[in-house]
Amino acid sequence: MMSEGRATRPVWKGRWWLPIWTAGLGLALFAAAAAGGEAANGLIIACCFLVVAVAFALAERSESLRGIGGVDGDERFARIETRSMAAAGRAMAVAIIVAWGYELSQGDDAAAITWILGVGTIAYVGSMIWIRGRG
C-alpha cells in the first residue's frame, strides 16, 4: 500500500536519473572502446560524459538543465524541448546526408550511414503517421 500523500513520479523524472544515465552511457562507451582496443580514447570519452553527469547533478538552479532532465518540467518547457529536438533532428539529418554523399564520393559503400539514414527516415515517417492518427 502506498503511503498517503506521497507524490508518485516516473523514474525518468527523478533528479538523479539524468546524471546516472549520462555516467552510465560514458562507462558503456568506455567499455565499447576498450573492447575495440581503444581504451585510451574510451577513457577520454568517459571522462567527458562524467563531467557532464556531474554538471547535471549540481544543476539545481538551472531551469534548462532541470528541464533536460525532465525534473519539474511544465508545458512551456515541453514545448522548448520539442522545438530543440526538432532543431537537433534537422541538424543531424543534414550532417548525415552530407556525410553519406562524402562517403559515396570517396568510393566507400557508406553502409553504416545508409542504415542510420534509413532508420531515421522510417522513424520520422512512422512517428508522423502515429501522431497524426492520434489527432
Partner 1 sequence: MKNEVRALRNEAGLSQQDLGAAVGVSRQTINSIEKERYTPSLPLAMKLARHFGKRVEEVFDDE
Q: For residues 65 and 17, what is the distance between their CA atoms, to the nearest angstrom?
A: 12
Q: Which stretch binds partner 1 (CB under 8 A): 20-28, 30-38, 48-56, 74-82?
A: 74-82
76 binds partner 1 (CB under 8 A): yes
103 binds partner 1 (CB under 8 A): no
Judged by beta carbon, residue 76 or residue 90, the one nearer partner 1 is 76
Say how many CA atoms lie within 13 Å of 95 toward its Cβ.
7
108 binds partner 1 (CB under 8 A): no
Q: Which stretch binds partner 1 (CB under 8 A): 46-54, 73-81, 95-103, 110-118?
A: 73-81
Environment class of 17 (CB within 10 Å of its CB; exposed 0-12, middle 13-18, buried 19+): middle
Q: Dig out the grid coordinates for 109 from the structure.
A: 559503400
From the list 63, 84, 103, 116, which residue makes contact with partner 1 (rule: CB under 8 A)?
Answer: 63
Q: Dig out the grid coordinates for 35 from the structure.
A: 573492447
Shortest distance, CB of residue 73 to partner 1, whole angstroms? 8
Judged by beta carbon, residue 61 or residue 132, the one nearer partner 1 is 61
From the list 1, 4, 5, 74, which residue makes contact with partner 1 (rule: CB under 8 A)?
Answer: 74
Environment class of 22 (CB within 10 Å of its CB; exposed 0-12, middle 13-18, buried 19+): buried
